[in-house]
Chains A and B, each alone.
Chain A
Amino acid sequence: MSKILIGRYVAGDSIVYRMDPRGKLLATILFILFVFLANNPISYLIVTIFSLAAVAATKLKPKIFWDGVKPLIWLILFTSFLQLFFTVGGTVYWRWTIFALSSYGFTNAIFIFIRFTVIILISTVMTVTTKPLEIADAIEWLLKPLKLIRIPVDKIALVMSIALRFVPTLFDETFKIMNAQRSRGADFNNGGLVTRAKAITPLLVPLFINSLETAIDLSTAMESRGYRGDKGRTKFRVLKWSNVDFINLFYFVLLLGLLLVFRTH
């Protein structure tokens, strides 16, 4: 199998796992939009408490969430740090040309730090507690309204499930091709920039030819199994709403209400 882990799903059993993926996906998107509403210390506190509550509700080890933040931690710190110097207002402590240290700068940097962390935490909750296939089904459901403006949602759903299914297969294929080329002297990690750019072709062309062949084979197989376009077909994997999803909904209505009350208008 490939070295790079596919899917971030971590098995577990808590209320978050029993929620419908559609509800979770909507909640994630809405939460990120709600964060836009936060603009004063109290509203940021509310957002932080709600996201930490969501993290706690998953009953997973903190390390899993730390792993989500870790790759971005330097970016977050650097950004907050830069923001510190670019916001002017309140009491100014120090000033040099366009840079300044001020009390507004400090609060702003802290706000951005919170915003970053909270958005990453909530997205991690989503991807860690939901299987990729379920997320794809949820995305398909969310795209359905686009049918009204004649966007071929069923075709998009088909492409999505094929892509999802073939990522692991092509991953293995890629490593195989790389090793095969390496065994005959190909070098993917050395030389100047042009040499490295050239080195990509012996990887890409076989991969592309493989893809073409797979596409021909798969479409022939689908047609021989009676696939005649996406209309008039039934669904085998069906998502169901349950009571847990009302808790999810209530939680977000509460968050929206609190934010609207406590934000500075």
Chain B
Amino acid sequence: MTIKEMLKVELRDLVLLGIIVAMKIILSRFTVGTTIVHVSLGFIGSVMLGYLFGPVWGSIGGGISDLVSSALFGNQGGFFLGFTLSAMIGPFIYGLVFYQKPVKVWRIILATLLVTFVVNIGLNTLWVHLLYGMDFRVVLIQRIPKEAITPWLEMIISYFVLNAISRVRIKR
């Protein structure tokens, strides 16, 4: 498939993309977990974007979700295009792994680990380092404890969510 074909969409899918983006924004306002560990549900939005729309439109949707949520709620920690890029790469990776493929445990583990390493640990650390001029090690020390726990929780949730959503798609 060429890029041009990938960018072609029907109005219905475009509207659905808008609504899923809205859903991602809402989900990122919710957290799940105990008092010690809690995970924002925004990643479910990324998983859905990647699974339903593929890497190209999924990443566009991810970028839009970051822009719209900054317009609505303001960006904690400032407007910075690096974080928009991070928001795009998450659904991109999920799209590469999940789009038009059967839901498998290894795919979920692979995608979640990739997103954790590339986006959460890699890029976001880089943005914080650039934006606030902090030492790289300092940013990592803050991040590592959380990123050591959340991926496993995200995998479990992704598994249930993807199974549920694929059932909805089959029904149609």
A residues near B (Cβ < 8 Å) are: 4, 6-8, 25, 28-29, 32, 36, 68, 71-72, 75, 78-79, 82-83, 86-87, 111-112, 115-116, 119-120, 122-124, 126-128, 132, 135-136, 139, 152, 155-156, 158-167, 169-171, 174, 188, 193-194, 196-198, 200-201, 204-205, 207-209, 211-212, 214-216, 218-219, 222-223, 227, 229
Contact = CB atoms under 8 A, between A and B. Distances in A.
Contact of A216 (B12, B32, B65): B12
Contacts of B74: 8, 68, 123-124, 126-128
Q: Which of B9, B12, B61 has the most CB of A within 10 A?
A: B12
Contacts of B17: 159
B15 A208 contact: no
B168 A112 contact: no
A82 B142 contact: yes
B54 to A, nearest CB: 15
Contacts of B142: 75, 78-79, 82
A148 to B, nearest CB: 15
Contacts of A227: 11
The B contact surface, by secondary structure, is helix
Contacts of B20: 211
B111 to A, nearest CB: 16
B25 A163 contact: yes
A215 B21 CA distance: 12
B80 A32 contact: yes
Contact of B26 (A139, A174, A208): A174
Contact of A222 (B15, B138, B161): B15
Interface residues of B, number: 64
Contact of A218 (B15, B138, B161): B15
A163 B65 contact: yes
6 contacts: A4-B29, A25-B79, A32-B79, A83-B135, A132-B72, A136-B67
Contact of A28 (B16, B77, B79, B130): B79
Nearest to A8: B74
A7 B68 CA distance: 11
Contact of A158 (B14, B16, B25): B14
Most buried by B among A119, A205, A214, A215: A215
B134 A112 contact: yes
Interface in B69-104: 70-81
Contacts, number: 197
Contacts of A211: 16, 19-20, 23
A28 B53 CA distance: 32
A3 to B, nearest CB: 11
Given A123-B79, A158-B18, A208-B165, A79 B138 contact: yes
Contacts of A167: 22, 25-26, 68, 72
B132 interface: yes
Contact of A207 (B23, B72, B130, B138): B23
B85 to A, nearest CB: 14
Given A79-B138, A136-B67, A201-B164, 20 more contacts: A8-B74, A32-B131, A36-B133, A86-B135, A120-B78, A123-B74, A127-B71, A158-B18, A163-B21, A193-B33, A197-B156, A197-B159, A200-B32, A201-B161, A205-B165, A207-B23, A208-B164, A212-B168, A219-B10, A222-B15
B32 A208 contact: no
B157 interface: yes
Given A167-B22, A167-B26, A212-B16, A120 B67 contact: no
The 10 closest A-B pairs by CB, nearest first: A162-B18, A127-B74, A215-B16, A135-B71, A119-B78, A166-B22, A163-B21, A219-B12, A197-B157, A159-B18
A215 B81 CA distance: 29
